[in-house]
Amino acid sequence: MPPIRVLIVDDSVVIRKILSEELASDSAIEIAGLASSGALALAKIPQVSPDILTLDIEMPGMDGLQTLKEIRKLYPKIPVIMFSTLTERGAAATLEALALGASDYATKPSNTDSSAGAREHVRRELIPKIKSLGAVRTAQQPQLAVKASSVSRSQRAKIDIVAIGTSTGGPNALAQVLPGFPADFPVPVVIVQHMPPLFTRLLAARLDTLSPLSVREGEAGQKLKPGQAWIAPGGYHMTLARKGNEVALELNQEPPENSCRPAVDVLFRSVAATHGAHVLAVVLTGMGADGLRGSRFIREAGGEVFVQDEASSVVWGMPGSVAGAGQADEIYPLDRIAKEVVQRVNADWRATPPLRAVPARG
């Protein structure tokens, strides 16, 4: 496969130098060009034909959001990774950029990072995302043939909780799925979206304005109730704990799993332990394989797993890994997921006995 051609757009000479040197050090990536402003970026795109852009948000003149709007008008399919600061302002602008059609984002090295630390940050945060999105740009990728392993209606238990895991493309996917859940949705929803601190709180606030559900960032000790959705806070794993007939959120900072904290696997294992067969898990678009092992726990406990299909995913890493391993009960396009989840939850919710406590896994 030819290298992924990247156009770097940033007004900082230092950042352009770090990015160009670190990206060029990877044989799978080629620097297509550098641009110090949004206007220069728009002029260079037809000249250098990049596969992907990295786009700074805060630039003088035409800022990253304005540039992104123009890029989406002219080049609706080219992947764009926003490069933003880990600040309240940067997080808010990043979420707006994702809503405007950015493919993903990466946070900039902090001002306190050494040169070596800044370069390591780029290698860890940015390069994997370029490679993941770069793989999607070409039709040369092999297509994975999968088939959902449906469970017969007689084997299905009443659903008492919905757990969702997502990463790349997740904010927009959640913004499409959650508004499809009614305000009287009879079970709580718990979510892991791979994002750092600040970002998850602002994402929850944004989704709360879009969805009939009450959407909040997870809080330790918060009791789960129907009609609520809780998003794991950045930097913390989110789990559930059962006390009698009540279930509450717990947070911890144990080591990352799949290089992620929060991790989908952690949440999925927890809901399998607290709810057994009464779980419906949903794996949406995302890079990597987080959620695969957790999906196995859920299905071994008798629960069900729905995944987003390849065609509607920004990156079919997470849902594709679950489907490819035979752990998906159903595979749906994004625009059908809310409807299918609501139908599954409502199908026999009032016709089955109340949930019995399930012994926790060791």
CA neighbor of 282 nearest in space, from 229, 353, 361: 229
Of residues 36, 37, 103, 167, which has the active-site annotation? 167
Q: Look up 167 and say whether it is catalytic.
A: yes
Tell me what pLDDT residue 244 has.
84
User: Given the DSSP bridges, would you call strands 4-9 and 29-35 parallel, antiparallel or unpaired?
Assistant: parallel
Q: Cα–Cα distance between 351 and 56 in angstroms, integer? A: 53
Structure-block tokens of residue 101: 């059609």
- pTM over cut 0.95: no
Tell me what pLDDT residue 87 has.
84
Q: Look up 160 and say whether it is catalytic.
A: no
Beta bridge partners of 331: 307
Of residues 36, 160, 194, 321, which has the active-site annotation? 194
- Which domains does the chain show, CATH number per domain? 4-136 (3.40.50.2300), 153-347 (3.40.50.180)
> Which percentage of the chain shows pLDDT scores above 90?
82
Tell me what pLDDT residue 139 has.
42
Q: Which of 49-58, 82-91, 108-117, 338-347 has the lowest mean pLDDT?
A: 108-117
Q: Look up 121 and say whether it is catalytic.
A: no
Structure-block tokens of residue 43: 């002029």
**pLDDT one-digit tens code per residue, 149-202:** 555 444 688 999 999 999 999 999 999 999 999 999 999 999 999 999 999 999
